[in-house]
């Protein structure tokens, strides 16, 4: 009874963990506009200023203003302040009419953010015509402007966008799966050897496969990110990879991934250094630079990923060796159970601290696409909790087909959760 309660408690704590950990990769969003969207001005504004929730990348931003005749009225380039959160562009003297503001930026995690809005200039004049009444049409850029219509896409473009997003989610999920697999595979290799357990003969070969999955997912993510940036209307020059945070982290991650094929599974301590290095770099590819202390945040992210890797790779181990090397699985299951519980506790602690730093308004859970996706993820984790209880109960009886089905269900839930993480870290 005590053991069952411990397992159930750990999994329920994971619900909280997973519910807050996804906030870490939230993208930059506008928090303040001047002029405000759909505002009516009585005098020409000197500039347009947009303030974002977190840092945006240098040299990867655009802010332009167009009049009702689809002509750009901004004569100067936009400027980003030292905080990298305030973007502004100087305006000339404007005449009466409706103006459309279009901006394209890239978050510190490499995610492009683009949008548009409109405002009305109606200066008082003796011979002034009837005032223009604000309406929803202002938020739609003129169709001839090269920047895409962000608010009212055609049905065909909407379908293509959805299919493209699905492709991105699959790629990101593939990457996270490979990352957790190889990190956890190195952990279990170190742990089982230390405990005097026999390592399966083809364990290293499966580790190479894990590396290949990780490298393919990483490479594809980098290429997709470049496409995202260029498609958003921004110019991607060769200096970006070495002048942006996300570019430098991609270079580091790619280099470490290639190096792994040469150095891994030869020295346990080299494996540990490689493991920690790749997780620290992954932690930098987000919004860690926007919060203090950065070292604490990166450390917590690293610990969090290690905990997830222990659980995910443990399930992969069971799936790989269940059929032909059951002896290894029978020996592994009790060890995996104990370490899984410990990892969940560690993740809970790291997640709680991160939530204090990152957690925004909880109301967004119920009226945004992101929030609804997260709620579905929490539902899956609740299912994992009940499956975990059933597995613990079945292990005390016998290792039979019923146990295998439960473990398979746990594995499927793991894959679905990784898929939801790939969505939550992108939308």
- Kindly tell me the burial class for residue 304, based on how many C-beta atoms sit within 10 Å of its own C-beta (0-12, 13-18, 19 or more): buried
Could you tell me whether strands 40-41 and 112-121 are parallel, antiparallel, or unpaired per DSSP bridges? parallel
Mean pLDDT by 10 residues, the chain (427 residues): 45 42 56 90 91 81 88 88 88 91 81 85 63 46 39 37 76 90 95 88 94 95 80 65 76 94 93 92 68 74 86 90 84 84 72 62 57 63 67 61 75 78 65
pLDDT single digits (tens) 202-225? 999 999 999 999 999 999 988 887
pLDDT single digits (tens) 128-151? 444 444 444 444 444 343 443 433
Q: Which domains does the chain have, with CATH numbers?
A: 2-26+161-424 (1.20.1630), 30-150 (2.60.40.1220)
DSSP assigned state of 115: E
> Rounded distance, CA 386 to CA 275, Å?
31
Model's pTM, two decimal places? 0.71
Residues 167, 379, 298: CA angle, nearest 5 degrees: 65
**Could you tell me the two tokens for 269?**
């301590």
Q: Where do runs of H (alpha helix) occur along 238-368?
A: 240-243, 245-263, 268-284, 294-321, 326-358
> Rounded distance, CA 357 to CA 290, Å?
11
Of 278, 311, 284, nearest in space to 384 by CA: 311
Sheet strands side by side (includes 79-80): 30-34, 47-52, 86-90, 79-80
pLDDT single digits (tens) 273-318? 999 999 988 877 665 555 666 777 788 888 888 988 998 899 899 8
């Amino acid at each position: 009874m005590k053991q069952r309660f411990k397992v159930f408690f750990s999994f329920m704590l994971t619900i909280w963990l997973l519910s807050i950990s996804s906030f870490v990769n939230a993208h930059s969003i506008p928090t303040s506009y001047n002029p405000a969207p759909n505002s009516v001005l009585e005098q020409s504004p000197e500039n347009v200023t947009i303030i974002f929730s977190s840092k945006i990348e240098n040299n990867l931003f655009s802010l332009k203003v167009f009049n009702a005749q689809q002509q750009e009225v901004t004569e100067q380039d936009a400027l980003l302040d030292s905080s990298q959160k305030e973007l502004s562009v100087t305006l000339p003297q404007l005449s009466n009419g409706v103006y459309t503001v279009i901006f394209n930026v890239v978050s510190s995690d490499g995610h492009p953010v683009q949008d548009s809005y409109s405002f009305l200039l109606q200066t008082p004049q003796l011979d002034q015509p009837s005032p223009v009444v604000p309406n929803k049409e202002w938020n739609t850029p003129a169709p001839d402007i090269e920047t895409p219509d962000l608010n009212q896409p055609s049905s065909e473009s909407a379908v293509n966008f959805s299919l493209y997003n699905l492709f991105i989610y699959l790629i990101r999920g593939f990457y996270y799966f490979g990352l957790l697999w190889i990190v956890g595979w190195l952990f279990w290799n170190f742990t089982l050897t230390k405990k005097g357990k026999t390592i399966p003969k083809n364990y290293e070969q499966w580790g190479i496969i894990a590396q290949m999955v990780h490298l393919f997912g990483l490479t594809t993510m980098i290429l997709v990110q470049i496409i995202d940036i260029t498609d958003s209307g921004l110019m991607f020059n060769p200096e970006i990879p070495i002048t942006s945070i996300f570019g430098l982290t991609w270079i580091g991650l790619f280099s470490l991934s290639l190096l792994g094929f040469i150095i891994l599974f030869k020295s346990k301590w080299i494996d540990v250094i490689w493991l920690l290095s790749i997780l620290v770099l992954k932690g930098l590819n987000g919004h860690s630079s926007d919060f203090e202390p950065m070292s604490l945040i990166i450390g917590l992210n690293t610990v969090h990923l290690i905990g997830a890797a222990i659980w995910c790779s443990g399930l992969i181990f069971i799936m790989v060796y269940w059929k032909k090397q059951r002896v290894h699985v029978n020996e592994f299951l009790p060890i995996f159970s104990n370490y899984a519980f410990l990892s969940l506790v560690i993740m809970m602690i790291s997640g709680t601290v991160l939530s204090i730093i990152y957690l925004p308004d909880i109301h967004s859970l119920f009226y945004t696409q992101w929030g609804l996706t997260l709620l579905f993820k929490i539902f899956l984790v609740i299912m994992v909790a009940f499956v975990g209880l059933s597995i613990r109960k079945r292990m005390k009886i016998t290792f039979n087909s019923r146990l295998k089905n439960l473990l398979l269900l746990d594995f499927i839930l793991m894959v679905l959760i990784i898929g939801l993480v790939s969505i939550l870290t992108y939308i």
